[in-house]
Structure 1
Amino acid sequence: MTILYTQRDGTQDLRPTYPTPTPPTDIFGATDPGEDVHAVITLQVAMTRDMLAAALDLAAGNCEESPDSWSVEFIRESIELQMTYENFLHLERSAQGYAEWGDIDDSIKPFIQAAYRAVDRAYPKGL
């Protein structure tokens, strides 16, 4: 995973081509209400389908409802909120576990499959 494309002297390495970013659902506060907010930054994160499913599971996996019943807005907001404090390397390792389907306990496979369907609804390929 490449971290920076801009070098210390300001030169830029070639960047890969990514799909068009989805618009953010909200501004998430890293500050407490009433604090003097100095700036709101925009962060765009390129994620695989496995990473999106892992982030959704981490964000909302304790819900009693099936991801099949969740709205696109809820799915996107849940993933975005999870990404405000998720360690990218941890997420990448979690996503690898999803990709290695045989390592997932049979009792949670239906939920994980529903999480993938939810991801596909919220982030259709080529969006």
Structure 2
Amino acid sequence: MSILFSLPDGSPAPRPTYPTPTPPTDIFGATDPGEDVHAVVTLQVAMTRDMLATALDLAAGNCEEHPDTWSVEYIRESVELQLTYENFLHLERSAQKYEEWGDIDESIKPFIQAIYRAVDRAYPAGR
């Protein structure tokens, strides 16, 4: 994984091809009326399917509704909100637990599969 795409001399390093970014759902942070907002910073984060599932599980996994009922808007906003709290490098490390599918408790596998279906609805592959 590359952290920076600018070399020390300012020239660009080669970049991979990415899917088209999804539009942001909202602006997070200093959003209360009357706050002195100095800037709105845009950040695009390339995420694997496992990272998306991890972020969604952390953000909304404890709500009472089932992931199969979540709207695309709810899923995307949940992932984006979680990224405001969670370092994406930590999400990348946390996502590795899903790669060890055989070690996951059988009782929660259906819920995790539903989280992945939700991710696939909100972030179709290659778009």
- TM-score class normalised by the smaller sequence: over 0.9
Deviation for aligned residue 1:35: 2.0
Q: Which amino acid is the alignment partner of residue 26 of structure 2? A: D
TM-score by length of 1: 0.93
Deviation for aligned residue 1:89: 2.4
Deviation for aligned residue 1:80: 0.5
Q: Which amino acid is the alignment partner of residue 25 of structure 1? A: T
Deviation for aligned residue 1:32: 6.0
Q: Distance in 1 between matches of 2:53 and 2:20?
A: 19
The equivalent residue for 1:94 is: 94
Deviation for aligned residue 1:9: 2.7
Check if 1:126 corresponds to 2:126.
yes
Root-mean-square deviation (CA, aligned residues, Å) is: 1.2
The equivalent residue for 1:20 is: 20
Identical-residue share of aligned pairs (%): 80
The equivalent residue for 1:4 is: 4
Matches within 5 A, 1:5-84: 5-29=5-29, 31=30, 33=32, 34-84=34-84
TM-score by length of 2: 0.93
Moved more, 95-104 or 17-26: 95-104
Q: Distance in 2 between matches of 1:115 and 1:62?
A: 12
Check if 1:103 corresponds to 2:103.
yes
Q: Which amino acid is the alignment partner of residue 3 of structure 2? A: I
Q: Distance in 2 between matches of 1:8 and 1:2?
A: 14
Structure 2 stretches of 5 or more lacking a match? none
4+ residue segments displaced more than 4 Å: none
